[in-house]
Structure 1
Amino acid sequence: MNKLALLLVPAAMFLTACASTGTTGTEAAATPTQQLGTVALKIAINAKCTTELNNLPAWKTATKLMTETQKTDVQSEICGCVSDKAPQSVTAVDLATAALDPQARATIVSNAVTKTINACVAEAVQ
């Protein structure tokens, strides 16, 4: 997973560096550093979510009767939700820091996942 993330981060950063923000010109556009930070953060959040989810005793209990495919589908749904919602709780300064500092990114990711994983699990269960 880490090797895949190491390959995807530079590619995603390259592809998003010139991406349009879709603003009308009246809104402040995200800086390239913030865009890079968001991409890196989402990749790291997804990886952290998977780890955290697999370590939750409730997840282990809930998935005992699931097939591997069902478990993977639910896990993808939950971690996709976390990847979408977690960056909303991160400031622009945190995004810029996450793009440049791996240690800070780990802390930011951990905090963001912790804040959103329970809400996403609840959504997936319903």
Structure 2
Amino acid sequence: MKKLIALLAPIALALTACASTTGTTGGNSTATTTTQQLGTAALKIAINAKCTTELNNLPAWQTATKLMTAEQKTNIQGEICGCVSDKAPQSVTAVDLATAAIDPEARATIVSNAVTKTINACVAEAVK
């Protein structure tokens, strides 16, 4: 537990150093926004890749796509994984993002959990 606190404390300090309390300078906010956008984009890419793998491993998906053309399968898969990529980051906390930035194993677990939480809802949306 002490190691975790020792590891997270510098991250918390670094994250708070980026926060602007005055809001008048504007210089830091652009850099912070860009960093957040890059982090979110990277997370979405990882989630999309994990979604594709998970979807292709689902027995129900394999059965449902047997009679589809490759183009139909690709279109529906893109729709489902696009949905997952959009919704999954909403289930990731700031602490998870900080942990994912420094620990590849944690990143894989966080991405996997986010995909698992959202894939069924997105499949249901795509089927409607």
Please give the TM-score of this superposition, normalised by the length of structure 1. Answer: 0.72
- RMSD over equivalenced CA pairs, Å: 2.0
Q: CA deviation at 1:94?
A: 1.0
User: Aligned letter for 1:64?
Assistant: K
**For residues 124 and 74 of structure 1, do their structure 2 counterparts lie closer, same or farther at Cα, with a shift above 3 Å needed?**
same
User: Aligned letter for 2:99?
Assistant: T
Alignment partners' CA distance in 1, 2:111 and 2:46: 7
Larger RCO (CA under 8 A, 6+ residues apart): 1
How many residues align? The count is 100
Q: Does 1:72 align with 2:70?
A: no
Which residue does 2:94 correspond to in 1?
A: 92
Q: CA deviation at 1:37?
A: 3.1
In the alignment, which of 111, 121, 124 is matched to residue 122 of structure 1? 124
Identical-residue share of aligned pairs (%)? 88
Alignment partners' CA distance in 2, 1:38 and 1:98: 12
**Structure 2: 5+ residue stretches without partners:** 1-22, 24-28
User: Aligned letter for 2:69?
Assistant: T
Flag the structure with higher helix content.
Answer: 2
Alignment partners' CA distance in 1, 2:123 and 2:67: 17
User: Aligned letter for 1:103?
Assistant: E
Between structure 1 and structure 2, the one with the greater Rg is: 2
Alignment of 1:53-72 (within 5 A): 53-72=55-74
Please give the TM-score of this superposition, normalised by the length of structure 2. Answer: 0.71
